[in-house]
Amino acid sequence: MTLIKDSGRVSGPYNLPDERGHFGPYGGIFVAETLMEPLTELRAAYERYRTDPDFIAELDHDLKHYVGRPSPVYHAARLSREVGGAQIYLKREDLNHTGAHKVNNTVGQALLARRMNKPRIIAETGAGQHGVATATVAARLGLKCIVYMGAVDVERQSLNVYRMKLLGAEVVPVESGSRTLKDALNEALRDWVTHVDDTFYIIGTVAGPHPYPAMVRDFQSVIGREAKQQMRELTGRLPDALVACVGGGSNAIGLFHPFIDDGEVAMYGVEAAGDGIETGRHSAPLSAGRPGVLHGNRTYLMEDEDGEIIETHSISAGLDYPGVGPEHAWLKDSGRATYVGITDAQAMEGFHTLTLTEGIIPALESSHAVAYAIQLAATMRPDQQILVNLSGRGDKDINTIATREGIRL
């Protein structure tokens, strides 16, 4: 271990993963042989283009003019006053085109797909946000797009299914296993194995085999890089704490990564505690799971005593995943980041509080981060600062929320 655990500081600049995609014991490449070659090809392409000035210029241009970056940092002054503790700042990823952070990554991977001459794009999606963000960039670049989505999610996220279809994507309901996000990922991997020659698989979070966790992180790190500069401009210093929700972990790592070497900045990842960790009905592998191998990497998983993956539960479809990006597993073990749980009920409370005090309707995923930030702020002084990643807007969740509260729209 190269990390000094008790101080929470990395010795030497942080530079994981290693060349084989390992974050300590986590990450790596655990796939069937047929995927080894396309992963090697992807790694080579990514290594080449990530430092290529033309690629970077095109990516920056698209992030600015198509996505609408930089996204603002907003001081939630009224919310902070109500809580009566630390100042809460919001990184407004909800203001991006398509309404969430997911598009930062799909814009990047789609540019890569085009440079690799792959005319066919596939993706998995849970809530449908990543599916929509993928269908969006595919439409713009004229690429064929197929989105795998668990049959259960197709049912409960019908609005996003329709959005994807409007954008020209084919949405394939997945009937195997638990018929949710993890099964959609399996099915996308099966599609990729069958069409390796012409297909680019855009994974939507920092999971999957190397280089995905590192590549998706790099595309999402624009969040943290901007935020660092914006906080300095706004407040003259770095925040005391970062808070982000963790499904697969892409919005969280995007915010955290540029701050890893700034040991004075605490980092909190918020998992979905569902009905409560103690009930077993949750989606919190870092809080209540153990290490294992799924979807191409080693990480913390929700599994039974036989190593079978178990069903997860969260009010928010985007957090309903039994694994988590391997870099978070490493940040947890090293002590650099802390992972906590927020229940469905607490997330709902956070949702309403932010909506009523600031006029910002957050996604249910992001509401988990908001709810924890409110708890944390109450334990801190008013001259301290918390930066929350507001990963998405709540329009997609209005039906879920109304139903839960017994309201028929």
Partner 1 sequence: MSRIQNTFAALRESGRKALIPFLTAGDPTAEFTVPCMHAMVAAGADIIELGIPFSDPMADGPVIQRASERALAHKMSLRKTLALVEAFRRTDTVTPVVLMGYLNPIESLGYRTFVERAREVGVDGALTVDLPPEESGELLPLMLEAGLDPIFLLAPNSGPERVQEMSDLGRGYLYYVSLKGVTGASNLDLDDVERRIRAIKEISSLPVGVGFGVKNAEMAGTIARFADAVVVGSALVSQIEAFQDSPDQAQAQIVDILRAMREAMDASAARDA
Ligand X SMILES: Cc1ncc(COP(=O)(O)O)c(C=O)c1O
34 binds partner 1 (CB under 8 A): yes
> 124, 226, 327, 365: which is the annotated catalytic residue?
124
373 binds ligand X (CB under 6 A): no
CB 134 within 8 A of CB 148: no
Does the active-site annotation cover 102?
A: yes
Residue with the two structure tokens 């279809």: 165
With CA atoms as reference, report the closest residue to 130 among 177, 183, 185: 185
Q: Which of 270, 286, 363, 377 contacts ligand X by CB under 6 A?
A: 363
> 71, 271, 391, 396: which is the annotated catalytic residue?
391
**Interface of this chain with partner 1, residues 277 to 336, rule: CB under 8 A:** 291-296, 301, 303, 305-310
222 binds partner 1 (CB under 8 A): no
CB 368 within 8 A of CB 70: no
Q: How many CA atoms lie within 13 A of 130 on its CB side?
A: 31
Residues paired with 90 in a beta bridge:
74, 388
Tell me the angle at which helices 36-49 and 102-115 cross, rounded to the nearest 10 degrees: 100
Q: Which of 157, 186, 250, 297 contacts ligand X by CB under 6 A?
A: 250
DSSP result, 345-396: HHHHHHHHHHHHHHS--B-HHHHHHHHHHHHHHHTS-TT-EEEEEE-BBSGG
Does the active-site annotation cover 187?
A: no
Does the active-site annotation cover 91?
A: no
* Residue 189 interacts with which of partner 1, ligand X, none, CB < 5 to 8 Å by class: partner 1
Task: Outline where 151-198 has alpha helix (H).
Answer: 151-156, 158-166, 181-194
CB-nearer residue toward partner 1: 1 or 310: 310
Distance in Å, CB of 294 to partner 1, minimum: 6
Task: Find the part of the chain contacting ligand X (CB under 6 A) among 2-10, 18-26, 65-73, 126-134.
Answer: 126-134
Give the whole-angstrom CA distance, residue 166 versus residue 47: 34
Q: Which of 106, 109, 180, 251 contacts ligand X by CB under 6 A?
A: 251
* Residue 90 interacts with which of ligand X, partner 1, none, CB < 5 to 8 Å by class: none
Task: Pick left, alpha or beta for residue 28 (phi over 0 → left; psi -120 to 50 → alpha; otherwise beta).
Answer: left
CB-nearer residue toward ligand X: 55 or 148: 148
Burial class (CB in 10 A: 0-12, 13-18, 19+), 348: middle
29 binds partner 1 (CB under 8 A): yes
* Residue 7 interacts with which of partner 1, ligand X, none, CB < 5 to 8 Å by class: none
Task: Find the part of the chain contacting partner 1 (CB under 8 A) among 33-41, 68-76, 97-105, 342-350.
Answer: 33-41
> What are φ and ψ of residue 228, in 5° steps?
-60, -50
Give the whole-angstrom CA distance, residue 374 versus residue 300: 27
133 binds ligand X (CB under 6 A): no
31 binds partner 1 (CB under 8 A): yes
Q: Which two tokens stand for residue 254?
A: 């995007």
**Interface of this chain with partner 1, residues 35 to 64, rule: CB under 8 A:** 36-38
CB 355 within 8 A of CB 362: yes
CB-nearer residue toward partner 1: 168 or 177: 177
260 binds ligand X (CB under 6 A): no
Residue with the two structure tokens 């918390």: 386
* Residues in touch with partner 1 (CB under 8 A): 20, 28-34, 36-38, 176-177, 182-183, 185-186, 189-190, 193-197, 291-296, 301, 303, 305-310
Q: Supply the residues annotated as catalytic.
A: 102, 124, 391
Binding site for ligand X (CB under 6 A): 100, 102, 126-127, 129-130, 205, 245-252, 318-319, 363, 365-366, 391-392
